[in-house]
Structure formats: C-alpha cells, structure tokens
Chain A
C-alpha cells in the first residue's frame, strides 16, 4: 500500500516569511517518484517538481527548494521570501509501481500568504 501524508492542513504566514510544507510518504517499492503540484484558485494543478527515489540531492529553483530524505521518508518543500502569489493549495504525490498507474496524492496544504 502507498500513502502520502501532508499533516499541515492550512498554513498562514506574512509575506516575505519563509515557509516549509511537509510531506511524508509510505511505499514498499524501492523505485518510486515524488511530485509537488500547486493548485491556484483557478483549479488546475501546476507541476512543480519530480524526484526519483535514487536521487536524494536537494533542489533549488528560484525561491523554491525541496529536501528529499529517504531515511525519514520525507520530501519537504520550502518557499523562501514568500509572496502573495504563492497562495494556493500544494499537493505532494507519489508514484510507485505497486499501485495503479496514477499518482497517490496527499490531502494538500492550503498556504495563505498575507500581505
């Protein structure tokens, strides 16, 4: 069985603060992929990053960074110097061969950036 847990239902910070969104996953497969998607109020999901289980290098893309730690089964997402436009629901997702050919999503974290 596979599972993704995003324990933070909602986070509210003031603009320019740094914020970290947590993601913990469960899978029995040794090969798997982890994703982060952003869902703005318009509804569509926007792809942010994909990471495979063999690549534990952290990644930075502008104000976004991701910390992948297999030892704790976590794939956390940090936004540095947050902006109002970052307000959205963020989903962590898992793909592993043990499930149907689709992604297993966490319940999402609603991020609110206050001006």
Chain B
C-alpha cells in the first residue's frame, strides 16, 4: 500500500541525547514536511523539503536538523539544543509545494524526554 511510514511510534530520550525520527514515503512525492504538535495546539512547521538535497526551515527549526538524500526519506534529528522536545511529531508529503495538492500524513512519533 502507498503511504507514509513513521518510526518508531514511541520514543524516549534522555537529557542531552540526540534522537532521529524516521519518515519514509512511497507515494513518489517531491515535497516532504515535519510538523510538531503539542497538547491542545495546532501543528507547527519545523522543516520542509521541496526536492532531494534541498530543505528549508519552517517556523520552529531551532534545535532540529534534517536531511533529504533520497526522495523517499526525510529523517528528523532532535538535538540536545532543543530545550523542550517532548511532543508529537508528524511527517507529511505532497506531490508538490503550494496549496493545490493536499498533504498526506504519517501516524506520528510521540517523543518523551525522561
């Protein structure tokens, strides 16, 4: 089945550790996105990528890093510089950027700092 796969579903991080969240899509989409969701809040854009080997900061990029070496993959690293990383992280992809195509979302990764 075509879709977006995020792993792991749950992730625990110790203070000072970097962790990487995986996002893979087999929809042949050019654009991919990472959003952060906090309780009672909407989604906020962390990073997005319009094409392989290119990515742009979103509204809350500090403390995060990404790579886009393959069209199918857009991993997100939460670094120790992110002071409040506990949140629900959602990856999405779309055929192109702009609003004329809808984004499809993965099932999310819930990250908790212990």
Which A residues are within 8 Å of any B CB, using their own CB?
4, 6, 9, 32-33, 35, 37, 42-47, 50, 52, 91, 93, 95-97, 100-103, 105-108
Contact = CB atoms under 8 A, between A and B. Distances in A.
Contact of A50 (B44, B58, B102): B102
Q: Which 8 pairs show the lowest CB-CB distances between chains A and B? A: A33-B99, A95-B99, A105-B42, A102-B45, A45-B105, A43-B108, A101-B97, A44-B107
Contacts of A97: 98
A42 B107 contact: yes
Interface string B42-62: 111100101000001111000
Given A9-B40, A95-B98, A100-B58, A44 B105 contact: yes
17 contacts: A35-B99, A37-B105, A43-B88, A43-B90, A43-B107, A47-B102, A50-B99, A93-B43, A95-B99, A100-B56, A100-B59, A101-B31, A101-B48, A102-B33, A103-B43, A103-B45, A105-B44
A35 B106 CA distance: 17
Interface residues of B, number: 30
A43 B87 CA distance: 12
A105 B108 contact: no
